[in-house]
Amino acid sequence: MGLDLDKINAELRHAAPEAIVRWALAQGLPAIASTSMGPGAGVMLHLVSRLAPSLPVIWVDTGYNLPETYRTAEALRERLDLNLQVYTPALTAERRQALYGPIPSIEESERHALFTRQVKLEPFERALAEHRPALWLTGIRREETDFRRGLDVVTRDPRGLYKVAPLFHWTQAQLEDYLFEHGLPDSTRYFDPTKVHAGRECGLHSAA
């Protein structure tokens, strides 16, 4: 029997992120968290480290991150003692570039779709196959993209996962205040070549 998402979202809409994480964990379902290690990632990771320190945290490292992202990721892993599970593409960035050429522009729709599958979707699908979660904690927020405005705190992913977003209704200002309050490392520069700009989806959350 599935969860009553309308009722659950009505109850959680004004709940604190900590309460939402606790609710998710109380469902007793096999769970993972995910992170992009982008700006503000430390907020979600801090919540997970406090409330579910052994929870697998999936990071798909495309191989194309900026040096600052890698340094911030390592600082967060050490500071929060995360159970960080890093998944990388089957092809290294150097090998992929030699075989398929440089990062395609988003205007090259077919080449860019293949690139996204190679460096982001396939590693994430491998993580799902290995961990077999029923519940996925994610740091997505409503204000980030048009697609995410159509979601809610708890949604059913097309892959069958219950996707729980404890920070869904938070603003950028709230993220920054939390980072400052807890002295968390954060990236000020970030680039995801599968998205290119902040208003696009890379496919992890919009995959059918």
CB 73, CB 46: distance < 8 Å: no
CB 60, CB 124: distance < 8 Å: yes
Which amino acid is it at 12?
L
Cβ atoms < 10 Å from Cβ of 150: 10
CB 7, CB 143: distance < 8 Å: no
Which residues share a beta bridge with 32? 136
CB 18, CB 48: distance < 8 Å: no
Examine the residue annotation and report whether 202 is marked as an active-site residue of this protein. Answer: yes
Instruction: Return the half-sphere exposure (C-beta side, CA atoms, 13 A cut-off) of residue 131.
Output: 26
Q: Which of 167, 202, 204, 205 is catalytic?
A: 202
Active site residue ranges? 202
